[in-house]
Amino acid sequence: MQINFFEKLIGSGFYTGYVKKASGTFGSLAGLVIYLIPGFENPSIMIFFITLFILIGLPIARKFEAVYGEDPKEYTNDEVIGMWITLLFIPKKIWWMLLGFLIWRALDIIKPFPARKLESVKNGWGVILDDIMAGIYSFILLQLIIFYFNKIVG
């Protein structure tokens, strides 16, 4: 099975999946860099791109699994998606973005229930679903931190 240029570009999180070590971290950084584009933080734009990258990423995930094996490290589109979910609706401040990045990476690695369980879903879904779930957890945790920080600081 052949993976074309566009599929490699999106599937590998803008080629971060081909970094030898910590490809998931580099994929997350790619998501963060895209978030820095002025206007990208608009929730409507972010939700559109999260949805788009899930929809086009699923058949690409299947191809990556066929070529590289189950849940391949080369596929980092899921890290980009998880990073964007984490950053939804936050104030575009460097400290919140960095905290979101750290929370996202920790929860993506730990994969609290049911994220790890979702990895076993077949047909490419498991590649993406675990990161969507970890992204949702990261989103919730970051939103709570921001909420309570604002309550305390005023």
Residue-wise pLDDT for 45-87, tens only, equals 999 999 999 999 999 999 999 999 999 999 999 999 999 999 9
Average pLDDT of span 109-134: 92
Average pLDDT of span 27-56: 98
Tokens at 63, concatenated: 């191809």
Using alpha carbons, select from 153, 122, 135 the residue that is nearest to residue 82.
135
Cα–Cα distance for residue pair 112/85, rounded to 1 Å: 16
In the numeric block, the tokens 């860099």 are attached to 33
Give me the pLDDT at residue 154, please.
Answer: 74
* Position 119 confidence tier, pLDDT thresholds 50, 70, 90: confident
In the numeric block, the tokens 């002025």 are attached to 38
